[in-house]
Structure 1
Amino acid sequence: MYWRAPTEAELAEAGLKAKHFKRPEVDLWPECALPFEIYCRVATQWRVGAGGPIGLDYNVVYYEMDREGLAGELRDEVMAGIRIVEAAALTEFTSPGK
């Protein structure tokens, strides 16, 4: 979701061409599809502190889960999946050189 192609300068530095860096294809397991879909819906809804994003606004996440009619164990499983994607996104956002 947050993949970016290398810049021309980065490619030139390594002696490579853009054709060497095709956008990766990602297949989701069926049990990961709903958490990822909901994450995509709320991917602009971050809580931000002085140092940048600190986490998703869970009020918006809960609203989307309510819209899906999620309850009980399924809701807990979907929220766990969303938290995994959220943590990976935060790592990507805060990695040096990003």
Structure 2
Amino acid sequence: MLGRPAEVIEKEICTLRADDVVDIWPEHVAAFELFNRCCTDWRMTEFGPVGLDGNVILGLISLVKPENPLLLYDQVRLIEQGALAHFSERKR
């Protein structure tokens, strides 16, 4: 089998716990919360995650009805890019 088991990858992706302390600027809280809700909705290949499922992001955005949905979508995608870069570094 190429890559790593899905359970291992999921543990790496969903690492924040309820008692973790992180500082988030108020204007980024909604994007962080949405990203955190998507932590198990990654598109996967045998080599690992390649991106979040865009349909899940859009579905959650439609549920929370933000003032600026496009901005929230873009912010989540930026967090996703950072996460993918982090995963790539961990493989090396």
Task: Give 3-state SS (helix, strand or coil) of 1:37's partner.
Answer: helix
Q: Report the count of equivalent residues.
A: 76
Task: Give 3-state SS (helix, strand or coil) of 2:72's partner.
Answer: helix
Residue 90 (str. 1) matches residue 84 (str. 2): yes
Structure 2 residue runs without a partner (length 5+): 1-13
Task: Supply the RMSD in Å over aligned alpha carbons.
Answer: 2.2
The CA deviation at 1:80 is: 1.1
**Identity %, equivalent residues:** 30
Q: Which runs of 4+ in 1 moved over 4 A?
A: none
Alignment of 1:12-91 (within 5 A): 25-70=21-66, 74-91=68-85
TM-score normalised by length of structure 1:
0.67
Max Rg structure: 1
The CA deviation at 1:82 is: 0.3
Q: Which amino acid aligns with 1:26?
A: V
TM-score normalised by length of structure 2:
0.71
Greater relative CO (CA pairs within 8 A, separation 6+): 2
Structure 1 residue runs without a partner (length 5+): 4-23
